[in-house]
């Protein structure tokens, strides 16, 4: 009988559970240690539950426009938070059970409890019943993820001052809500709660919301949020908050004050690298607390790998999953590295945002750094949803497809989409970039009509001034 390599995985989020299944597929014996729920934050308190709730608001938005389409509905659109949360919980439960089933079919051992490295090959597990066991393995993958930060300025009480975890389980809709942080999470919750009828105020320290996105897309999203009634205050921060029995008073640094029912703190996450025995195993961490890894996802200790949010790269569920596959294949004797150049990102605001590659400003900055003229080195193509037959037919006319290209090689540098189904559409651009297709090659591909994907074709054509459904631009004088 051939001895199977034994892999222990600390954490069962989108990195850990995917790594476990891939390891089992490759013939390893796998033990997964998880002290919370299978699927981690993404499945239980992040990606999936927030999208389940947002889908209800999106449906409500369509119902409010039904009369314009000739669909007559009686009464007004209202929301039942209890039913919404119950449905969300059912979606999550179904997916968690799905992971458990996958573990069972692949003979993956799931140990419930809090794991801590004793050394580079041994994990001590404190189980819920108070007992302790040790798991010895040939290799270890650390996939402990990240968590909500504990900021002295915003003491989380779970009632008046909350994180996204509590925001997904509210029994009633607050009349007013202050969201601190205008990044991805903050803008998603602004879309959700403004849709439910809450008066939302969004505060962001830097001059614009979604500061990591393309400037043009960020400005469009700010306009869309304002249309939903969101009061956006950028370039300012919260000086302090004062909790009262029935409200929270927030004082901003610009002198503005407001009273709200609740404050949602959405200002980043911290690495779950403490208290898991990294010191005993000799695993090195960076200045921010992130676990340091190479391109093979291996730490400084051979046979010990780390993946997901805890390594501080692109903190996205799908990146964690890919890192897990890479780590496992290296553990199993293969040679594989990870490429961060083409990572599609989805932002589930209303409307959605899809993005891959460089922003226009990043592309121009790179030109300058390389001694090139950014006006010649970067070309941009745009096409608005309003020019698409499918968008007009479905009423989804608010949106933009933007392509950033290399002016010399015709290489696609980045694609940014704001509009209906943007998070799905972006994958055509990601595949094109991954395969090395040029702007012209994508533009030449026949796209089905009528579809929203035609917007990508038209934007690619616009890079060279050939978009069919764009009015002719007057010649420059």
Within its chain, how far is the Cα of 316 from the centroid? 5
Cα gap 319→277, rounded to integer Å:
24
Q: What is the pairing mode between strands 247-252 and 146-147?
A: unpaired
Q: Is the peptide bond before 130 cis (omega within 30 degrees of 0)?
A: no
Q: Residue 193 contacts by C-beta under 8 Å, 6 or more apart in sequence? A: 167, 173, 174, 177, 200
The answer to whether 12 and 110 are in contact (CB under 8 A) is: yes
Collapsing DSSP to helix, strand or coil, 303 comes out as coil
Answer whether the bond into residue 257 is a cis peptide, omega within 30°.
no
Helix locations, 182-332, DSSP H: 184-195, 215-227, 278-281, 317-331
Quick one: tokens of 280?
Answer: 């005993």
- Report how far residue 433's alpha carbon sits from residue 412's, in angstroms, rounded to the nearest whole number: 6
Active site residues: 449
Reading the block at residue 203, the tokens are 């505060």
The closest alpha carbon to 307, from 46, 5, 1, 20, belongs to 20
Other residues' Cβ atoms within 10 Å of the Cβ of residue 459 = 28
Assign 343 to helix, strand or coil.
coil
């Amino acid at each position: 009988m051939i001895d199977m390599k034994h892999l222990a995985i600390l954490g069962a989020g989108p990195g850990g559970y995917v790594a476990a299944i891939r390891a089992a597929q490759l013939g390893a014996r796998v033990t997964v240690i998880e002290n919370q729920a299978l699927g981690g934050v993404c499945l239980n308190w992040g990606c999936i539950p927030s999208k389940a709730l947002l889908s209800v608001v999106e449906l409500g938005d369509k119902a409010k426009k039904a009369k314009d389409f000739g669909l007559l509905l009686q009464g007004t659109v209202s929301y039942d938070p209890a039913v919404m949360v119950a449905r969300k919980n059912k979606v999550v439960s179904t997916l968690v059970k799905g992971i458990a089933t996958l573990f069972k079919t692949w003979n993956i051992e799931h140990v419930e409890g809090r794991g801590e490295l004793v050394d580079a090959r041994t994990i001590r597990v404190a189980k819920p019943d108070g007992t302790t066991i040790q798991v010895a393995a040939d290799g270890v993958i650390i996939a402990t993820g990240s968590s909500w930060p504990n900021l002295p300025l915003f003491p989380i009480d779970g009632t008046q001052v909350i994180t996204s975890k509590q925001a997904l389980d509210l029994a009633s809709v607050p009349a007013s809500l202050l969201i601190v942080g205008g990044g991805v999470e903050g803008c998603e919750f602004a879309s959700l709660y403004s849709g439910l009828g809450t008066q939302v105020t969004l505060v962001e320290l830097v001059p614009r919301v979604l500061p990591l996105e393309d400037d043009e897309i960020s400005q469009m999203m700010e306009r869309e949020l304002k249309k939903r009634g969101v009061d956006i205050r950028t370039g300012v921060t919260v000086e302090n908050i004062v909790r009262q029995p029935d409200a929270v008073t927030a004082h901003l640094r610009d002198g503005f004050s407001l009273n709200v029912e609740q404050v949602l703190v959405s200002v980043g996450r911290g690495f779950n690298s403490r208290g898991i025995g990294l010191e005993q195993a000799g695993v090195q961490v960076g200045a921010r607390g992130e676990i340091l890894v190479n391109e093979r996802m291996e730490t400084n200790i051979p046979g010990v790998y780390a993946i997901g949010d805890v390594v501080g790269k692109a903190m996205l569920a799908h990146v964690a999953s890919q890192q897990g596959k890479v780590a496992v294949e290296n553990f199993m004797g293969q040679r594989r590295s990870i490429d961060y150049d083409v990572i599609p990102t989805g932002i589930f605001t209303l409307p959605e945002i899809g993005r891959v590659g460089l922003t226009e400003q990043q592309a121009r900055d790179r030109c300058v750094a390389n001694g090139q003229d950014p006006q010649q080195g970067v070309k941009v193509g745009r096409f608005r949803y309003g020019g698409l037959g499918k968008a007009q037919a479905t009423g989804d006319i608010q949106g933009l497809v933007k392509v950033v290209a290399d002016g010399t090689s015709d290489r696609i540098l980045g694609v940014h989409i704001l509009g209906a189904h943007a998070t799905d559409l972006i994958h055509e651009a990601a595949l094109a970039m991954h395969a090395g297709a040029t702007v012209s090659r994508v533009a030449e591909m026949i796209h089905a009509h009528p579809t929203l994907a035609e917007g990508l074709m038209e934007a690619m054509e616009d890079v060279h001034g050939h978009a069919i459904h764009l009015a002719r631009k007057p010649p420059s004088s």
